[in-house]
Amino acid sequence: MEKMPETSRACEGSPSGQLLLGIRQFNREEWFECHETLEALWLKERGDVRNFYQGIIQIAIALHHWRNGNLGGSLSLLAGGRGYLLRVPEVCLWVDVAGLIAQADRVISALERLGKEKMGELDPVLIPRLKTVEVTE
């Protein structure tokens, strides 16, 4: 399936101030706030960038559900967010998408192993962080 040129160019662009704010919120574990920030961007997009935002939003809300003790919601949204991110390049708007997918996979495995009763014991090292990467032309 061939991608439309404008969506490829969009992922290769630089992050907006709003995306950078969303990254800071995500990394400060302000997942609901991150969702709100990125949703405003997601509504205006299409193609790869829309999938990129949707994936991060779903992972952010999954972590919000985890913190609130909702294992089923957390696992469902982690899987959904991962699915959206698999549709975009490994780096989108300078964000390490491949790394985020790998982090989501580790959280899914750990939460499945811990189960509902022990989900609060998730190793803090496994909590995903959004990372930017150096982009060279």
Write down the pLDDT at residue 29. 97
- Burial code (b: 16+ CB inside 10 Å, e: under 16) for 107-116 equals bbebbeeeee
Tens of pLDDT, residue by residue over 37-74, are 999 999 999 999 999 999 999 999 999 999 999 999 99
Alpha-carbon 51 to chain mean position: 10
Q: What is the model's pTM?
A: 0.91
pLDDT confidence bin for 10, thresholds 50/70/90: confident
Please write the tens of the pLDDT for every residue from 70-122.
999 999 999 999 999 999 999 999 999 999 999 999 999 999 999 999 999 99
pLDDT band at 35 (very low <50, low <70, confident <90, very high): very high
Structure tokens at 7: 């969506």
